[in-house]
């Protein structure tokens, strides 16, 4: 009788453990992945674009720069040369005829304004990316890997890019693992999913220009503040003088 009872409880424990593991697996896919942290961002400092106050642009041969100042005293500065884009984010203030920029290190940023992971039953995975103005983000880079394909080949031929609608869709079975590579030059972090752990959808809303991912964006941080000269509301010197 004692043996039968023990067997009964043993079966019950196995069933409960199986249910518990299944529940944890579902939670891992849909809830427990912190996308912001896995992409290398902090959750403590969130930059959200407020109303644009002033915008300055300047060009030099094949290079261009744009500085956007916002009402909440934040700025977004980007500079592009040929196929590369460099950008910075921080705080600005005006002192006499000087525009002073104080840069924020990337580890204190959170460019992921919000995200959601849903489902684990579909045979397809869909990535949807929007910017802070709900505009689709093109050319966010995703790489699919297979065991029988060398990593170098995958990084060259297995690249997928979000389309004009900001989407990528593929069968989960097409790859053994999938990595979001678009933030590598920003935070040096890559978000990777095994195909068995891919959600049905990942929606990202990012603090970013809707088209800049096509230029492999790199974040630039300056420890020292910089000063640009302005006169009558016009930027008269784009050379940045570092100040402490």
80-101 pLDDT, tens digit per residue, is: 877 678 888 889 988 888 888 9
Q: Is residue 42 part of a domain?
A: no
More confident residue, 105 or 29: 105
Domain co-membership, 12 together with 69: no
Domain co-membership, 81 together with 132: no
Domain co-membership, 8 together with 95: no
More confident residue, 226 or 2: 226
Domain co-membership, 120 together with 73: no
Domain co-membership, 89 together with 3: no
Specify the CATH number for the domain of residue 172. Answer: 2.60.40
Q: Is residue 41 part of a domain?
A: no
pLDDT band for position 239 (cuts 50, 70, 90): low
110: pLDDT strictly greater than 90: no
Domain co-membership, 190 together with 235: no
Q: Is residue 43 part of a domain?
A: no
Query: Who contacts 175 (Cβ-Cβ below 8 Å, separation ≥6)?
Result: 144, 145, 146, 158, 195
pLDDT band for position 6 (cuts 50, 70, 90): low
* Spatial separation of the C-alpha atoms in residues 238 and 70, rounded to whole Å: 19
**Beta strands in the chain, from DSSP E residues, in sequence order:** 52-60, 63-70, 74-81, 84-95, 98-103, 112-118, 124-131, 141-145, 159-161, 167-171, 177-180, 191-194, 201-206, 218-219, 225-231, 234-243
pLDDT band for position 2 (cuts 50, 70, 90): very low
User: Distance of CA 47 to CAs 80, 114, 166, 203, Å?
Assistant: 22, 12, 21, 19
170-189 pLDDT, tens digit per residue, is: 999 999 999 998 888 888 89
DSSP per residue over 65-112, as a string? EEEEEETTSEEEEEEEETTEEEEEEEEEEEETTEEEEEEPPGGG---E
Query: Who contacts 170 (Cβ-Cβ below 8 Å, separation ≥6)?
Result: 124, 125, 144, 160
Specify the CATH number for the domain of residue 67. Answer: 2.40.128.300
Number of domains in the chain: 3
Domain assignment of residue 19, given as a range? 1-32
Q: Is residue 40 part of a domain?
A: no
Mean local confidence (pLDDT), 30-53: 74
Contact predicate 91/72, CB 8 Å? no
230: pLDDT strictly greater than 80: no
pTM of the model: 0.72
Q: Is residue 38 part of a domain?
A: no
Domain co-membership, 206 together with 126: yes
58-72 pLDDT, tens digit per residue, is: 777 778 888 888 888
3: pLDDT strictly greater than 50: no
Q: How many residues does the chain have?
A: 244
159: pLDDT strictly greater than 70: yes
Q: Is residue 131 part of a domain?
A: yes
User: Distance of CA 67 to CAs 59, 80, 155, 180, Å?
Assistant: 12, 12, 33, 28
Domain co-membership, 63 together with 28: no
Q: What is the pLDDT of residue 238?
A: 53
């Amino acid at each position: 009788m004692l043996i039968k009872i023990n067997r009964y409880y043993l079966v019950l424990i196995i069933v409960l453990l199986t249910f518990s593991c299944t529940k944890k697996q579902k939670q891992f896919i849909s809830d427990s992945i912190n996308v912001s942290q896995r992409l290398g961002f902090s959750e403590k400092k969130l930059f959200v674009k407020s109303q644009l106050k002033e915008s300055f642009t300047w060009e030099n041969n094949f290079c261009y720069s744009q500085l956007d100042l916002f009402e909440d005293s934040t700025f977004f500065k980007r500079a592009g040369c040929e196929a590369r884009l460099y950008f910075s984010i921080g705080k600005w203030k005006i002192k006499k005829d000087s525009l002073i920029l104080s840069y924020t290190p990337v580890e204190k940023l959170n460019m992921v304004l919000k995200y959601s992971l849903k489902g684990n039953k579909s045979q397809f995975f869909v990535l949807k990316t929007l910017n802070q103005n709900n505009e689709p983000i093109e050319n966010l880079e995703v790489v699919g890997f297979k065991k029988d394909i060398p990593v170098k080949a995958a990084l060259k031929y297995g690249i997928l890019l979000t389309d004009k609608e900001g989407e990528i869709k593929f069968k989960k079975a097409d790859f053994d693992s999938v990595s979001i590579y678009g933030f590598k030059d920003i935070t040096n972090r890559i978000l990777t999913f095994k195909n068995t752990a891919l959600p049905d959808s990942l929606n990202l809303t990012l603090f970013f220009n809707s088209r800049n991912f096509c230029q492999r964006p790199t974040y630039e941080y300056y420890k020292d503040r910089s000063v640009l000269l302005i006169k009558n509301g016009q930027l008269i010197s784009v050379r940045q003088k570092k100040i402490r």
